[in-house]
């Protein structure tokens, strides 16, 4: 196999970001899209110039036309379709949040192990040069000992008719966008927190439309994260250490507009150059390297499992009004 032939499992909104990335990568091609109806698959394929269509997800999984699928379904469907895709012999890139229970995450990981196929969580920002720079700052000790992370992801809907507001679909701001600060903190701190405290404000549909969490690590280190559907688009992350702090204005999305500044303990702030790279390209190229060269994925399934574990602990804490130990 020289190129990975991709199939889109659904016509989700987010596909519009991933399609150009597949086409930008020299070792991938977009060959098919599956939707719950032929009509929808056909009109989508025509718009995006995709050669083959399927009137059901099952039909695409049964076909030899694709090697890998991108799963961009509502959150509650990620686990079942990932397992089905793996069992049908397809490599899988599955959107975040990977799944809504640890039992489901474990089922997905077991299916990948059993089939020896590649499975990864689609956390695009983790692959971008900006995040690699953050990791280098931490690894090289330029920030000293990290004591605090503050990280936020807020946005507002254009319409209230959205899968993110449906409780049984895994709706809620923490599952949707709060998981970015959670994963950011995990990456910088080098693992999941020891214990967490969460606060949530539930909207009319019953999902959290605002979430604030305090995540505690060893040696008094803390991450403060928040997510919201109630306030205008805003993201930022700050990592504070004994030798200085690093601030990003767009850590997760719209990274081309991001300003990254290192404030050392003394002296002038340093404006860090972020190499330009399309935001979604890294996760696709990483899949290609894993599938075609047999290399491990950059984001491990152990890290993915801890993202879900931390979110579940935060929700448990918010519901109980008590700290939860992981």
Ligand X SMILES: NC(=O)c1ccc[n+]([C@@H]2O[C@H](COP(=O)([O-])OP(=O)(O)OC[C@H]3O[C@@H](n4cnc5c(N)ncnc54)[C@H](OP(=O)(O)O)[C@@H]3O)[C@@H](O)[C@H]2O)c1
Q: Which residues are catalytic?
A: 96
Q: Judge whether 121 and 110 are in contact, CB under 8 Å.
A: no
Give the Å distances, CA to CA, from 306 to 152, 197, 289, 302: 19, 16, 24, 6
205 binds ligand X (CB under 6 A): no
**Collapsing DSSP states into helix, strand and coil, what is residue 79?**
helix
| Cis peptide leading into residue 97 (ω within 30°) | yes
Instruction: Please count the other Cβ atoms lying within 10 Å of the Cβ belonging to residue 37.
Output: 11
Is residue 74 part of the contact set for ligand X (CB under 6 A)? yes
Instruction: By CB under 6 A, name the one of 75, 115, 258, 306 that touches ligand X.
Output: 75
Interatomic CA distance for residues 134 and 253, integer angstroms: 15
| Residues 223-282 contacting ligand X, CB under 6 A | none
List 4, 6, 7, 10, residue binding ligand X (CB under 6 A):
10
Instruction: To the nearest 10°, report the CA torsion of 141, 143, 145, 147.
Output: -150
Residue from 40, 43, 205, 249 touching ligand X (CB under 6 A): that is: 40
Kindly indicate which of the ranges 21-29, 32-40, 236-244, 316-324 contains the residues binding ligand X, using the contact rule CB under 6 A.
32-40
Residue 163 touching ligand X (CB under 6 A): yes
C-alpha span between 12 and 18 (Å, rounded): 11
CB of 163 to ligand X, least distance (A): 5
List 176, 208, 285, 303, residue binding ligand X (CB under 6 A): 176
* Residue nearer to ligand X on the CB measure, 58 or 114: 58
Q: Which is nearer to ligand X, 38 or 300 (CB)?
A: 38
Least Å distance between CB 281 and ligand X?
13
**Which part of the chain contacts ligand X (CB under 6 A), choosing from 4-12, 21-29, 294-302, 303-311?**
4-12
Kind of pairing between the strands at 146-154 and 222-228? parallel
Report, in Å, the least distance between residue 16 CB and ligand X: 9
Binding range to ligand X, per CB under 6 A, among 33-41, 47-55, 192-200, 310-318: 33-41
Beta bridge partners of residue 212, listed in sequence order: 199, 226
Report, in angstroms and rounded to the nearest whole number, the Rg of the chain calculated over CA atoms.
20
Structure tokens at 158: 């254009």
Q: Which residues bind ligand X (CB under 6 A)?
A: 10-14, 35-36, 40, 72-75, 77, 95-96, 122, 124, 163, 176
């Amino acid at each position: 196999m020289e190129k990975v032939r991709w199939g889109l499992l659904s016509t989700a909104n987010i596909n519009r970001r991933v399609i150009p990335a597949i086409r930008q990568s020299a070792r991938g091609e977009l060959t098919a899209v599956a939707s719950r109806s032929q009509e929808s698959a056909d009109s989508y394929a025509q718009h995006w110039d995709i050669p083959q269509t399927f009137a059901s997800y099952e039909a695409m999984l049964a076909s030899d036309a694709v090697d890998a699928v991108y799963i961009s379904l509502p959150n509650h469907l990620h686990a079942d379709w990932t397992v089905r895709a793996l069992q049908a012999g397809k490599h899988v890139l599955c959107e975040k949040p990977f799944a809504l229970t640890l039992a489901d995450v474990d089922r997905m990981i077991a299916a990948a192990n059993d089939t020896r196929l590649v499975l990864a969580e689609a956390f695009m920002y983790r692959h971008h040069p900006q995040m690699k720079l953050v990791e280098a700052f931490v690894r090289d000790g330029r920030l000293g000992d990290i004591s605090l992370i503050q990280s936020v992801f807020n946005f507002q809907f254009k319409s209230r008719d959205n899968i993110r507001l449906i409780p049984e679909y895994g709706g809620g701001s923490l599952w949707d966008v709060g998981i970015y600060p959670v994963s950011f903190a995990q990456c910088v701190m080098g693992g999941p927190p020891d214990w967490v405290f969460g606060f949530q404000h539930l909207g009319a549909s019953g999902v959290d439309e605002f979430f604030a969490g305090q995540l505690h690590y060893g040696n008094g280190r803390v991450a403060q994260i928040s997510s919201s559907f109630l306030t205008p688009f805003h993201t930022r992350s700050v990592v504070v250490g004994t030798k200085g702090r690093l601030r990003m204005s767009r850590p997760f999305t719209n990274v081309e507009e991001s300003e990254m500044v290192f404030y050392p303990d003394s002296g002038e702030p340093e404006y860090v150059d972020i190499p330009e790279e399309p935001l979604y390209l890294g996760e696709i190229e990483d899949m290609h390297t894993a599938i075609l060269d047999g290399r491990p994925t950059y984001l491990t399934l152990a890290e993915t499992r801890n993202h879900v574990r931390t979110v579940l602990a935060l929700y448990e804490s918010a519901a109980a009004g008590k700290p939860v130990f992981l």
